[in-house]
Structure 1
Amino acid sequence: MARVPYLNDDDLAADDKELLARPINLFRALANSPEGLRRLQGVGGWIRFGCELDPRHRELAILQVGYLTATAYEWSHHVKIGQDFGVTEQDIRSLIAVTEGKDTGGHFSSEDHAILASARELTSSRALTDDTAAALKTFLSDARLVDLVIVISYYNSVVRVLGGLQIDIEDGYQPYLREYPLGHS
């Protein structure tokens, strides 16, 4: 159960109603602080629609954060969003296998592995290793490397917001958890 009420647009001032154009539970909880939600949505909107990082790579990085942190809300939402941006069922299953140390199929390219490694490293140790940074620099410009670090860092922040406020997963996202369960603790 969430630690703050889930607001609806009729709970908000006229100037804040647009904050719930997408009335997911995360936004409904954050609407208790309209300006905070507005700022977070600004960064999130840039990540999804303005960032020039390859959309599939972006979503793989976000999914890696969600899986590694065992954040069911983030994971389920980005399984759906990732599929909208080119992430395949095999990508999701391979990400799980890589994270669990069971990858035997070699589904991912060297670029994909570098993206996933960067998300794991920034999530677990808050830094990139020199090897991962060098691998990323073989296919990312300096600007796209900065974008990737921003994306991973932002979603590490989001998972902490989700946990801190105990945001509930909407019923419509439960099937993604059943299809691709979080298998570790």
Structure 2
Amino acid sequence: MARLPYLDKADLAPSDQDLLARNINLFRCLVHSPGGARAQHVLGHYIRHKSRLDPRLREMAILQVGWVARSPYEWSHHIKIGYDFGVTDADIRAIIDDTAGRPTALEPVAKLVLRAAREIAAGPGASEATFEALRAHFDNERLVDLVITISFYCAVVRLLATLRIDVEPEYMPYLEKYPLPRD
């Protein structure tokens, strides 16, 4: 159960109601701070709609962060979003297997992105070897966008966990299909 009440458009000033254009629980909690919610939306919008990073790789990096953080909200939401950007069921199973050190059929750049996401999520950042390997696959703009994406979603999973944001019922089937491990 969330630590703060979820707000609806009617609870907000008219000038802030646009913040709930997507009426998801994360946004319904973040709007307690309209300025903070607006700032979060700006970077999230850039990552999803303006970055030149390959969208499938972006979503795989986000899923990797959600998996290692054991974030039901992030994991379920980005399985659904990932499907819209070319992530397949085979990719999702490969993320799980790659994390566990099992062999996968993923292409080398996808494995590298997953490794970078795990290293950044574990902190303090990607290793020198991983960063240099990324440089061989990405120009500087895409490399920075990848790091921004992974880092942003590391922050998002901490928000979700701290505020205890509930997974909406329509996202539960994704958790049932690909449950997070119980540690």
TM-score scaled by length of structure 2: 0.98
- In structure 2, distance between residues paired with 1:52 and 1:8: 33
2:135 to 134, 137, 143: 137
Percent of pairs identical after alignment? 50
Q: Does 1:174 align with 2:172?
A: yes
Letter in 2 for 1:49: H
1:32 aligns to what? 32
2:62 aligns to what? 62
Question: CA RMSD of the aligned region, Å?
Answer: 0.8
Letter in 2 for 1:71: S
Q: Does 1:73 align with 2:68?
A: no
3-state secondary structure, aligned to 1:2 = coil
- In structure 1, distance between residues paired with 2:157 and 2:179: 17
- How many Å apart are 1:184 and its aligned residue? 4.6
2:150 aligns to what? 152
- In structure 2, distance between residues paired with 1:69 and 1:100: 14
- In structure 2, distance between residues paired with 1:163 and 1:130: 29
- How many Å apart are 1:125 and its aligned residue? 2.3
Letter in 2 for 1:14: P
Deviations, residues 101-154 of structure 1 (Å, cap 9, x unaligned) = 2x23x3111100110000000001221112211211111001111111000000
- In structure 2, distance between residues paired with 1:108 and 1:150: 23
Unaligned runs of 5+ in 1: none
Change (3 A) 1:84 1:160: same
3-state secondary structure, aligned to 1:176 = helix
Q: Does 1:110 align with 2:119?
A: no
Runs ≥4 residues deviating over 6 A: none
2:118 aligns to what? 120
- How many Å apart are 1:58 and its aligned residue? 0.3
Unaligned runs of 5+ in 2: none
- How many Å apart are 1:166 and its aligned residue? 0.5
How many aligned positions are there? 183
- In structure 2, distance between residues paired with 1:78 and 1:150: 17
- How many Å apart are 1:49 and its aligned residue? 0.1
Q: Does 1:86 align with 2:93?
A: no
